[in-house]
Each structure stands twice: as C-alpha cells, then as structure tokens.
C-alpha cells in the first residue's frame, strides 16, 4: 500500500497554502481555538511527556501549535509541513499574537523526515495521520527519529464510527443544505454521512483521507511501536440523536468509560506514546541544525551563510522567508515549480502574459489570490514535462451564482475540444481535473454560467479562478 501518492502531496501543498491564510481573520481565529484545545491535551499529560526539547511537529500547516510550544511551554524545536508557503505565514501569527520566539520552520515529508536517528525528544502531530493510507509507515518514521524514551503525541485523529450508513461525505456547516444543517443540529447527520463531517473540501483538492482506523486499530498500531501510552477520547455528541446513544454506550461499557461510545459514535483520539529505552537526555549545547540530515543522501547538513548544505552530495536549501525547504530534490522540483509555462498560480504573480481574455483584475490575500471571470475566460499553458496530461483548475463559486434558479454549469475546452462538463451543486471552493489530448501547448476556454452582477459593480461574474496547471 502506498502511504501517500505524489498527486496527494501536490494537493496537500495547494490546500495548506490556501487554508493557512486564504481567509486571514478566519484562519487566525481557528488557529487560536485549535491551540486552546491542543494546549489542554498537552497540559493533561505533562507528567507523562516530561522534557519536550528538541521537538518536531509534523503536518504543522502555519506552525501555530509549534509557536505555542515555543512561547507558552518554553520548548525548542521544529515545525515541518509539505507547504513552505503555509509555514511562511507564521510571521503573520508572530505579529498578530506578539510572539517573541519561533520554531525552526522546515518544508519536509513526514515519510522521509530530514533528521538523524534517535535525535528528537518529542514528535507531535495534529489532524494529519489520517491523510496517509499507510499510517504504520508514519509511526515507523516517527519512532526512528525519536531518542530512546522519547514521546510521540498525536491528537484530533478520527475514530471509525460503527453506527453510520456512510452514504456520502458531508461538507462543512457553511456549505450544508438546510436539511443537512437540521439533521446535524439534531445529532442525526452522523448516522448517514461518512465519518468525518467536513472532509469533503479536502477530498475536492485531491487529498485522500484514511478514516478506516477503529479504536482497536489505533490501539494495536500504538502498541506495536511504543512501550507505553496514555489516551484521551473525544466522542461525538451532537444534539439529542448522539447524546442519547452516548449515554447508552457508557452503560454498556464495563468500566463506564468512553471506549464503547467512541466505537459506536466515533470521535477523535489523542494519544501520548513512549518509545522504548532509557532517556539519555539531549545535549543542550548542540545547535538544532546538527540534528538535521540531507533528504537525498542522509549526510550531515551544515549552515553556510543563509543556506543549509550537505557536505556529501551538495544538496542545498536556502532560507526563503524564514523557511528551509528540505524536501527530496525530485519532489521539491515538482511541488515548487515556481514561474513555469505549465502553471498559472496567482499567488506567484499576475501571470498576465498567459491570460488571453475574460479575466478581471487580480484580487485576494496571501494564499488566496484569484481573478473573477464572466461567462468565458481563456488562458494558455505549455507542457514542460512529457508526463503532464491532465488539466487541474481550482476556483470558487459564490452563493449568488447558485441562487439564480438555474444549474451552475461549467464547461472546459482545450484546443477547441470539450474535456469537461459539470454542475457545481454547492457554493465554495472547487477543484476540477480533466484529461487532455497530446499536444505541446493548450489554449483553454473556461465557460461558466449563469452570470450575475453585484450592484453598483457593473461587471458580470460567474466564478473566480486561482490556479490552473498541467499535472
């Protein structure tokens, strides 16, 4: 089983860039709420955790939880995510929250951590293990980099729910239809929908979710890799529909615990797991960069001016916006193509030379730069890789378009041939992929409707587009 495909990694980079600060005020509020929850979990298990430095957070997004660990708990360590752009937005958090200290920020892969064996005291992960099809592979890599006696703390991981028909993947609350909102309020939607309400948005990006892990599966995996553990269970209890079942599950549990309710209703698991062996303690005099290893050859990395450089193979990672990109060379080249003829990414610039007609001016902030279009927009992409034979388009459909009493339709043509037709059934973000015929370059027409106006603005609108590329 492949733990995580390259297409999923590419989708992760896009998603974390957009989700981190595509809507800054909303993102900052969400990060604060997450840190309150995560800080509580850490405090509940401080006796088990012990010393935290040096730590590593994997799948850290903007690194907000690592900033919490550094500034509130006095720890030192690293925030690592596939998205270098998401990590760069950490400087906004530092300014907004008036923080004094920051973790070392690294773009990297959780399956190939750029660290020496037995080098870290703690690894933590929040809401990220379920994005791997082979979760055991992530556990093995985490155990490799933990020193003897080190701890792996993970939380907010979904527990597979037994009482669900799993009919479809439900969206976030703001994208739900009225009947879905009412069922959610009553605590009944979970009996119909797939286990995690809200995962539909990530799935639309191409991120593949692994919600197969039951509570027993989590327990077996933890016991396989670690010698001791502590758990916290957070069981779903929406409305009367889940509250009544929760109370029944507690009565069925021999110890009156949340174990049976969690199996019936699902929820999330937080766990702190200890690696075997005696803790030797970390040499505080060693610089954090001495713990790093080359992602290509595993050689030692040395700091040279504003870069990290491998003395064995010459691999180099420059500091860019406070972030070192330590992805393997082949992945880094494709996940971060920069200004390239097969990519139109408005976060990288206005890309005006490849926009042929139908685009309004550039708008947006941070990871959510976009252009609104009317009924027809045309752009050009050129192949730079012989393996790129699909078109990927990311955009956003506003509620007014879906409230005009007509289906919100989309058609895409490449070099005159229709490659995609579809209907947008909900407002919000969408991602479309379509196969392409063999060609050196493509003139792409994006057709959408119905169009609408927002007075006093005289322009016509349908959707906005933020990224178009060949994949």
The per-residue pLDDT for range 120-155, each reduced to its tens digit, is 999 999 999 999 999 999 999 999 999 999 999 999
Among the candidates 255, 274, 293, a domain finishes at: 274
Question: Cβ neighbours of residue 388 under 8 Å, at least 6 residues apart?
Answer: 342, 470, 471
Among the candidates 233, 248, 274, a domain finishes at: 274
* Domain CATH number, residue 107: 3.40.50.150
Q: What percent of the chain has pLDDT over 90?
A: 76
Q: Binning pLDDT at 50, 70 and 90, where does residue 281 land? A: low
Predicted pLDDT at 280: 67
The reply to whether 43 falls in a domain is yes
| Residue 309 confidence (pLDDT) above 60 | yes
Q: Which residues pair with 413 in a beta bridge?
A: 418, 445
Q: What percent of the chain has pLDDT over 70?
A: 99
220/357 same-domain check: no
263/351 same-domain check: no
73/192 same-domain check: yes
Ranking 280-284, 375-379, 384-388, 460-464 by mean pLDDT, the lowest is 280-284
Q: Tell me the pLDDT of the chain averaged across its residues.
A: 93
456 preceded by cis ω (within 30°)?
Answer: yes
Query: How many folded domains does the chain comprise?
Result: 2
Q: Binning pLDDT at 50, 70 and 90, where does residue 88 land? A: very high
Predicted pLDDT at 173: 87
| Residue 86 confidence (pLDDT) above 60 | yes
The reply to whether 270 falls in a domain is yes
91/190 same-domain check: yes
**Residue 92, helix vs strand vs coil:** helix
Average pLDDT (406-423) is 96
Average pLDDT (319-336) is 93
CB burial of residue 465 (10 Å; 0-12, 13-18, 19+): buried
Q: Which residues pair with 270 in a beta bridge?
A: 232
| Residue 285 confidence (pLDDT) above 80 | no
| Residue 282 confidence (pLDDT) above 70 | no
Predicted pLDDT at 437: 94
* Domain CATH number, residue 452: 2.60.120.260
Strand pairing report for 77-81 and 55-58: parallel
Structural domain including 381 reads 343-470
364/239 same-domain check: no
Predicted pLDDT at 201: 81
Average pLDDT (351-358) is 95
Average pLDDT (64-84) is 96
Ranking 147-156, 272-281, 322-331, 418-427 by mean pLDDT, the lowest is 272-281
236/357 same-domain check: no
| Residue 368 confidence (pLDDT) above 50 | yes
| Residue 421 confidence (pLDDT) above 70 | yes
The per-residue pLDDT for range 217-261, each reduced to its tens digit, is 999 999 999 999 999 999 989 999 999 999 999 999 988 899 999
359/269 same-domain check: no
Predicted pLDDT at 284: 47
268/377 same-domain check: no
CA distance 336 to 332: 6
End-to-end CA distance of the chain: 22
Greatest distance between any 2 Cα atoms in the chain: 70
pTM: 0.90
Q: Scan for tokens 């990311």, then name that residue.
A: 394
Q: Binning pLDDT at 50, 70 and 90, where does residue 283 land? A: low
219/88 same-domain check: yes
127/222 same-domain check: yes
CA distance 430 to 426: 9
Predicted pLDDT at 203: 86
Among the candidates 274, 305, 323, a domain finishes at: 274
13/158 same-domain check: yes
Predicted pLDDT at 262: 95
223/347 same-domain check: no
* 115 secondary structure, DSSP code: B
The reply to whether 290 falls in a domain is no
Output the DSSP codes for 379-425: EEEE-SSTT--EEEEEEEE-HHHHTSSS-EEEEEEETTEEEEEEEE-
Average pLDDT (297-301) is 94
Average pLDDT (312-322) is 93
| Residue 190 confidence (pLDDT) above 50 | yes
| Residue 35 confidence (pLDDT) above 70 | yes
The reply to whether 310 falls in a domain is no
């Amino acid at each position: 089983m492949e733990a995580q495909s390259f297409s999923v990694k590419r989708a992760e980079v896009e998603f974390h860039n957009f989700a981190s600060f595509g809507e800054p005020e909303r993102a900052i509020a969400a990060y604060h709420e997450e840190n309150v929850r995560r800080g509580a979990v850490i405090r509940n298990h401080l006796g088990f955790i012990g010393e935290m430095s040096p730590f590593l957070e994997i799948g850290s997004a903007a690194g907000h939880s690592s900033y919490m660990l550094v500034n509130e708990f006095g720890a030192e360590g690293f925030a690592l995510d596939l998205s270098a752009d998401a990590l760069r937005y950490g400087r906004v958090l530092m300014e907004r929250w008036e923080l004094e200290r920051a973790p070392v920020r690294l773009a990297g892969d959780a399956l190939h951590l750029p660290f020496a064996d037995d080098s870290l005291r703690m690894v933590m992960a929040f809401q990220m293990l379920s994005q791997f099809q082979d979760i055991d592979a992530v556990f093995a890599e985490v155990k490799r980099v933990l020193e003897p006696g080190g701890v792996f703390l993970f939380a907010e991981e979904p527990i597979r729910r037994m009482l669900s028909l799993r009919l479809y993947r439900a969206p976030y609350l703001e994208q739900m239809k009225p009947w879905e909102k009412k069922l959610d309020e009553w605590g009944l939607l979970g009996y119909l929908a797939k286990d995690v309400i809200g995962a539909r948005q990530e799935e639309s990006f191409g991120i593949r979710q692994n919600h197969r892990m039951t509570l027993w599966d989590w327990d077996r995996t933890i016991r396989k890799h670690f010698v001791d553990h502590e758990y916290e269970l957070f069981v779903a209890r929406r409305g009367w529909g889940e509250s009544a079942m929760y109370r029944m599950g507690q009565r069925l549990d021999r110890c009156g615990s949340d174990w049976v309710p969690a199996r019936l209703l699902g929820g999330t698991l937080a766990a702190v797991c200890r690696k075997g062996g005696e803790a030797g303690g970390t040499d505080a005099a060693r610089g954090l960069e001495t713990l790093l290893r080359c992602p290509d050859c595993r050689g030692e990395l040395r700091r040279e001016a504003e870069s990290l450089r491998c003395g064995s193979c010459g691999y180099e990672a420059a500091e860019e916006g406070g972030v070192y990109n330590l992805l393997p060379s082949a992945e880094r080249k494709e996940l971060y193509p920069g200004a390239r003829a097969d990519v139109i990414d408005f976060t990288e610039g206005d890309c005006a030379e490849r926009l042929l007609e139908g685009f309004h001016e550039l708008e947006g902030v941070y990871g959510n730069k976009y252009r609104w279009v009317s009924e027809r927009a045309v752009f050009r992409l050129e192949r730079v890789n012989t393996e790129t034979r699909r078109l990927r388009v990311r955009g956003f459909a506003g509620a007014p378009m879906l409230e005009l009493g007509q289906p919100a339709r989309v058609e895409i043509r490449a070099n005159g041939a229709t490659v995609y037709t579809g209907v947008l059934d909900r407002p919000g973000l969408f991602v479309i992929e379509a196969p392409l015929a063999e060609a050196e370059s493509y003139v792409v027409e994006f057709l959408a409707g119905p169009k609408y106006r927002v007075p006093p603005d005289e322009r016509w609108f349908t959707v906005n587009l933020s990224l178009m590329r060949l994949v």
